[in-house]
Structure formats: structure tokens, C-alpha cells
Amino acid sequence: MVDEPVLVRVVVAEVGEGLAGVLVGVAADAVILCTLDDLGLSGTTGRIQVIGVTCMAVLWAVNFLVTRPRQLRAFKSAVPVADVSVLDRPAEQTRQLLRGRFRMAAFIAVTTLAGAYLLHFPLFGLQFQLMLAFGLVHTRRTAIWWERRHRVHLWKPALSAVGRENYRRSPYYATPAVGSSLADTA
């Protein structure tokens, strides 16, 4: 299993990356509010910004609603892991989780600040922050609920280690829930 990508808890990865992105986004928004004199909310620019953020938020929320049944089916078809000791790579798991959080935080910081200072659309980064916030709600309503109901933990290869396409194609893995965890306390 050394050559195979490290598996991380789905809930821990999604919640961690979402919170990292939202918190960095809030900090970037605070910088923008403190440094820009005009947010460009009046006139055509303001309408474009508000319509853009609203449309992206609605589209992302609808996307979560549409894909929820498919995601629940994927959870149901999770491959049981017979030997839980193969998942015992805490240093590598922590490294991959932190890497994913850092990548998400960097993406949000760059898009938020570049949107404000280069594109002159201060609300540009807000749409990504809203997507992450919706993602946190979606994770709460699907993955955490499903784990509690079925008394398992869902695992998947770390997105930061395998890339988006390999992550999408890889199955979910399930292990029995033992002891307290983020899913039990969230």
C-alpha cells in the first residue's frame, strides 16, 4: 500500500478545506474593505457584480441538490476495508490534509484579491466563498448524516495527492466507526 495514495476521511478533508477557504476569504474581504475606497456597487459594475455572485450562488446550490442522490448512491457502494491497519498512516494523512487546506486557502486568497485589485470587481471572490459555505452545509447534510446513520467512516484518496480526475473516479472506502470523531461531534 506504500505506492498507493494515502486515504483520508472525506468529512475531515471537506470540512477542513471549506473552513480554510472561508476563513481566508473573510480575511481577504476585510483587507479589501479596509483598503478600497469604492466597492463599485453603483451603476453597471455594481449590477454585474451582484448578478454574478447571485447567479453563481444559485447555480451552486442547485448543483448540490441535483448531485445529492448520486453522492448518496456512491456512499452506499463504498468498498469496505477489511484491514483497517492499511489506513494507519497519520503523518502522511495529516500532510495531505494540510496540503489540501493550504491549496484551497491560497486559491481563495488569490481569486478574491485579484478580483478586487486587478479586475476591479471586489465581490468576485465572494462567489467562491459562498460555494465553500454551501459545500460545508452540503457536507453536513450528506456525508456526516450518512456516516452517523450507517455507523461508518468514509475514506477517499487525498485530492491534493491524486488530482481531480483520479479523485472523481476513485471509489469511496468504508470502515466501521469506532470511538468519537468529527462526524460524531459535528
Quickly tell me which residue has 498507493 as its cell: 4
Confidence of residue 186 (pLDDT cuts 50, 70, 90): very low
Q: Is the pLDDT of residue 46 over 90?
A: no
Torsion angle (degrees, nearest 10) of CA 132, 133, 134, 135: 50
Q: What amino acid occupies position 124?
A: F
Q: Over the chain, what is the mean pLDDT?
A: 89
Q: Is the pLDDT of residue 185 over 50?
A: no
Helices 90-117 and 10-35 pack at an angle, to 10 degrees, of 30
Q: What is the mean pLDDT of residues 74-102?
A: 90
DSSP letter string, 131-152: HHHHHHHHHIIIIIHHHHHHTE
DSSP β-ladder status, 79-80 and 173-176: parallel
Q: What amino acid occupies position 49?
A: Q
For residue range 48-58, list pLDDT tens digits in order. 888 999 999 89
3-class secondary structure, 52: helix
- Backbone phi, psi, residue 7, to 5°: -90, 140
Q: How far apart are CA 143 and CA 166, in angstroms?
A: 20
DSSP β-ladder status, 173-176 and 152-157: antiparallel
DSSP β-ladder status, 7-9 and 173-176: unpaired
Q: Between 6 and 114, where is the model more confident?
A: 114
The whole-number pLDDT of residue 88 equals: 85
Q: How far apart are CA 162 and CA 130, in angstroms?
A: 26
